[in-house]
Structure 1
Amino acid sequence: MRCVTARLRALLQHEVDTGFVPGMVALVARRGEVHVEAVGNLAFDGAGAGTPMAADTICRMGSTSKPVVAACAMTLVDDGTLGLDDPVDRLLPELADMTVLADPAGPLDDVVAADRPITLRHLLTYTLGTGMVPAEPGTVPIADALAAVGELPPDAWLRQLGALPLPHQPGERWMYDTAANVTGVLIARATGRTFGEALRERICGPLGMRDTGFVVEPGSLDRLATAYERDNDTNGAPVVEDRPDGRWSRPQVFESGGGGLVSTALDYLTFASMLRGGGTLNGERVLSEASVALMTTDHLTPQQKTVSGFWSGYFDDMGWGFGMAVVTRRTRPGPSPGSYGWPGFYGTVWYTDPAEDTTTVVMMQRAHSGDQRLPLWAGLWAAAYDATG
C-alpha cells in the first residue's frame, strides 16, 4: 500500500485538527492497487487516545450494514431457499393480511386491506409499505407508533411491527430502514440460525471478514474506536455516544440489519471486492452474477422515488438497488452513473464505481444526528478521485 495524494490526507487531517473526530480512515482501491490514509486516534481521551486509527480499526457501521444484509438474503435466493417474489408471510406470519392506513397521516384505526402480500423483493427495495416516517412527535400517529417499537428480541419486535398498519400499500413507495431489520428476521427463520450466525456462515466466513459482526470479541476491543455524537448544548462539540466497553462489547438483544454491524475498512473492501468480482473473490463464489446485478441495479419507478418522503431531491440523481443506492446521474465530482454503495449513521461510507474501477471506503465514528458535515458532502469524493486519477 502506498499513500494517496496530499489533498485527501489534508482533508482528513482537517477534520481531526478541528476536533470534529479524533481520527479517520480513507481507503481507495483502483485497478488492483489499494491506497490507505489513516489520521488521528481511536478516541479523544482514555486508552484510545494513544492508539492510531488504521485500516483494521473496528467501527460501528450504522446503515452501511444494509448492503451486507441484502447480500446475505440473496444467497438464500441463489440456493432456492427464498424466492424474490414469494410472499414472506410463510416465514413471517406476523406480516400476513396486513392493513394499510387510509390516510398515512390519519388515525391508526382508519384502514383498508393491503392489496398484495409483502415479498422479499419489497423488503430489498424498501417498498414493503412501512419504514421511517419523518414527523414531529405528536403530529402523525403512525410515526409515534413506529417510534414506540423498541429494541426487543426479534420475534417480539416483529409482533409489534406487524400489529401496526402499513402507512402505504406494499410496492407503492420507498421507505427507509425498517425493511433491513425485517430482512434480518426473515434470514434467521429461513436458515434456522440467529441472524448473526447466518451472516457469518454465508458472507463473513467465506470472505474472511473476521472483524465484521454484531459484537466485538474481548481480544479486539482495543481496536474498537469510540463513537461520538453532536452536543447541541455545547455548540456542536462531540460527546461520547458509545465506548469500546459499551453496546458492542456484548451480544445484542436485536441483531439489527439496519445498522448493527461493526467492521473495518479492510473487511468492507473485501465485501466490496466480492461484489465487484461478480460475486466471487479469490476463487470463492459467494453470490451469483445475476444476484450481484440485481443488487446493483436501480429498481425504483419514478413514482416510488417521487413519493419516498426522504430528503428533498435525494432521488434526483440516485436510485435504489437491493439494500443500497445506485447513482443514476453525475452532478458533482465523485462516483459516476452505475456506482453503488451507502453511508452510515456514524460517518462510515462506501461506494464502488465500476466505470472507474474504484472502490472508496471511509471510516469515522461521529454520529451525524442531522449534522450533514460528513466527508460525502465536504469534498472527499473529489479528493478520493484525484488520489486515484
Structure 2
Amino acid sequence: MTVDEIGKRLEAHVQADELLGLAWLVATGDQVSTGTAGHLDSSRAVPVRADTVFRISSMTKPVTAVAASILIDEGVLDPAEPVDRLLPELADRRVLAHPAAEITDTVAARRPITVDDLLTFRLGWGMDFADFSPKPLDAAWSELGLGWGPPTPAEMPNPDTWLARLGTLPLQYQPGERWLYHVGAPILGFLVARAAGKPLSEFLAERVFGPLGMVDTGFSVPAGKLDRFGPHYADRDGARIVFDPADGQWSTPPAFEGGGDGLVSTLADYHRFARMLRDGGEHDGIRILSGEAVAAMTRNHLTAEQLARGGPNPDGSAGWGYGVGVQLSDLADGPRAGSYGWSGGLGSTWSNDGAVTGILLTNQTWSSAGPLPVFATFESILGEVARAGEAA
C-alpha cells in the first residue's frame, strides 16, 4: 500500500470534519512512511506537521510498564513482591463485600497487592469495562479528587497526597481476582519513582527517553515547543469544544506525573519506543530491556475466567500483558493474534504486529461511544499492510 493511498483514506476523515487534524506512521521493518492531515486548531491556520506534539494519554501506560520492567531486570523490583515495602499507604487492604457495597461494608484482603498485580491491572481497583453503573466507591473517589475520567494533570495532587487519599478507600475486588482498567498504571509510576529514589519524569528521561532519543516526550511541553503543540478538542452535545488549550494543563510540569495518561509525544519519538520493543528491547545497539522482559510484557497474563468477566475488549479477542493489550485471535479486518499495543482516549493509538508498527495521533478526544471512525480505518490499513507483507 502506497503512502498516497494511506494518506487519502485517513485524510477523508478530516475532510468529513470528524476531527481537525492527525499524524500517522506505518513502518514495515526499516521502511517508514508518515503523513499528516488537517490543522492544529479550529481556525485552521496551522497545519499538523510530522513533528507536532500530541497528548498521548493512555499510550503512557506501556512506557510506565517499561520503566518498571527495567527495575525488574535489575532486581530492584520483583513481580511477586507485595507493594507494601515501597507503598505502605496500600498495606493491610480492605475489600468491598461486593462492588456496589457502601465503602464501609468490607472484608479483609486475602493477600497483599503485588507488583505483578499493578502491571497486569489485577490489583482490585479500576474501571470495570463490563459495568459502568454508578457505585458508592465512585462517589468517594471523586470526593477525594483522585481523578476519574480524562486526564487533568494540573488539577491533581502530588503523589504522596494522592496515595495517602487512595489508601483510605477499600478495593473493589480481591487482589488478583479481576482485570480493571487504568488505576494500576499511576500507582505503578509512583512505585517506580520510590524504587528509583527520584521522580518518574527523571527516571524516564535517564533510562528510556534519553537512550532512545525521545527528545519531545515528557509530562509537559516546554515553552520553546508550544508552537508545535495545539489545543485539544472534545465533542459536547454534537459541538466541538476545547478540552485543553495549547497553554493549558500540559504547558507546565505537573506535580502529578501520571503514569497512566500524562505524557505527550510525537510520531518519531513513539516509533523509537515501539521499535525498541519490536527488536526485543534494543535500539541502535543500546539495550533498554532484556528479551525476557519484553516477552513478559507482550504476552497475555489474564486467565480465561478473567477474560470472560471483562477484559480489554468486550468481545474477548484481546488479553493484557504489562501495560499493553495483546491480541489473542485474528480479526478479519484488523490486527492479528500476537500483535500488541494500546490506545489513548484523547485520540491516539499504537500497535506492533510482527514487523509492522502503526501509530496514529490526533487532536480529538474519543466520544463516549468509543474511538472515532478514523481508528477503524487505520486498523484496517495496518491489517492490510501486515497481511501483504506476510504473503510477499
Common topology (TM > 0.5): yes
Q: How many angstroms does 1:133 deviate by?
A: 4.6
SS at match of 2:84: helix
- Cα–Cα, structure 1 residues 211 and 66, in superposed 2: closer, same or farther, change >3 Å? same
Q: Which residue of 2 aligns with 1:349?
A: 349
Q: Is 1:22 matched up with 2:20? A: yes
Whether 1:118 aligns to 2:113 is: yes
Could you state the TM-score of these two structures normalised by the residue count of structure 1?
0.92
Deviations 1:301-322 (A, max 9, x none): 0122222376633xx2100000
- CA–CA distance in structure 1, aligned partners of residues 3 and 295 of structure 2: 32
Instruction: State the alpha-carbon separation in 2 of the partners of residues 89 and 201 from structure 1.
Output: 26
Shift, 1:14, TM fit: 1.7
Secondary structure class of the residue paired with 1:379: helix
Would the aligned equivalents of 1:8 and 1:384 in 2 still touch at CA under 8 Å? no
Partner of 1:31: 29
Runs of 5+ consecutive residues of structure 1 not aligned to the other structure: none
1:274 is aligned to 276
Deviation at 1:149, TM superposition (A): 3.4
1:60 Cα offset (Å)? 0.2
Q: Which amino acid aligns with 1:213?
A: G
Query: How far has the Cα of 1:228 moved from its partner?
Result: 0.2
Corresponding position of 1:210? 215
Aligned match of 1:360? 358
Cα contact 2:226–2:246 (8 A) shared by 1: yes
Match of 1:143 in 2: 138
For residues 29-178 of structure 1, the aligned pairs below 5 Å read 29-45=27-43, 49-133=44-128, 139-150=134-145, 151-178=156-183
The alpha carbon displacement at 1:276 in A equals 0.7
The superposition leaves residues 261-289 of structure 1 with CA deviations (integer Å, 9 ceiling, x where unpaired) of: 00001100000000011100000001111
Q: Could you tell me how far 1:346 is from its partner in structure 2?
A: 1.4
Point out where structure 2 has 5 or more consecutive residues left out of the alignment: 146-155
Aligned residues between the structures: 376
Query: Does the 8 Å contact 1:20/1:238 carry over to 2?
Result: no
Offset at residue 374 of structure 1 (A): 2.1
Post-superposition CA distance 1:203-258 (Å, at most 9, x none):
111111011100101111111132100021xxx23211112111111011311111
Counterpart CA distance in 1 for 2:122 and 2:15 is 42
CA distance in 2, matches of 1:189, 1:206: 21
Deviations 1:33-85 (A, max 9, x none): 0011211121122xxx3332222110001111100000011011111111111
Aligned-residue sequence identity (percent) comes to 43
Whole-angstrom distance in 1 between the partners of 2:282 and 2:170: 40
Q: Partner of 1:100: helix, strand, or coil?
A: strand
| TM-align CA RMSD | 1.8
**Which one-letter code corresponds to 1:198 in the other structure?**
F
* Equivalent residue runs for 1:233-252 within 5 Å: 236-252=238-254
Letter paired with 1:165: P
7 and 375 in structure 1: CA distance in 2 versus 1, 3 angstrom threshold: farther
CA distance in 2, matches of 1:309, 1:210: 34
| Contact preservation (8 Å) 2:128, 2:310 | no
Structure 1 residue 198 displacement after superposition: 1.1
Q: CA deviation at 1:91?
A: 0.5
Cα distance in structure 2, aligned partners of 1:98 and 1:44: 48
Q: Secondary structure at the match of 1:248?
A: coil
Counterpart Cα distance in 1 of 2:207 and 2:224: 24
CA contact (8 A) 1:7 1:383 kept: no
* Amino acid in structure 2 at the alignment position of 1:267: D
Contact 2:356 2:382 (8 Å CA) reproduced: no
User: Given the superposition, is the C-alpha separation of residues 312 and 149 from structure 1 closer, same or farther in structure 2, using an over 3 Å criterion?
Assistant: farther
Assess if the C-alpha contact under 8 Å between 2:335 and 2:382 holds in 1. no
Residue 337 of structure 2 is matched in structure 1 by: 337
Match of 1:180 among 185, 195, 219: 185
| Misfit runs of 4+, over 6 Å | 134-137
Q: Distance in 1 between matches of 2:376 and 2:69?
A: 34
Amino acid at match of 1:42: L
What is aligned with 2:201? Answer: 196
Change (3 A) 1:375 1:57: farther
**Matches of 1:318 and 1:263, distance apart in 2:** 25
> What's the TM-score, normalizing by structure 2?
0.92
Q: 1:311 to 1:141 in 2, by over 3 A?
A: farther
What is the CA distance between 1:5 and its match in structure 2? 4.0
1:365 offset after TM fit, Å?
Answer: 1.4
- Counterparts of 2:345 and 2:94 in 1: how far apart (Å)? 31
C-alpha distance in 1 between matches for 2:36 and 2:8 = 11
Does residue 324 of structure 2 align to residue 324 of structure 1? yes
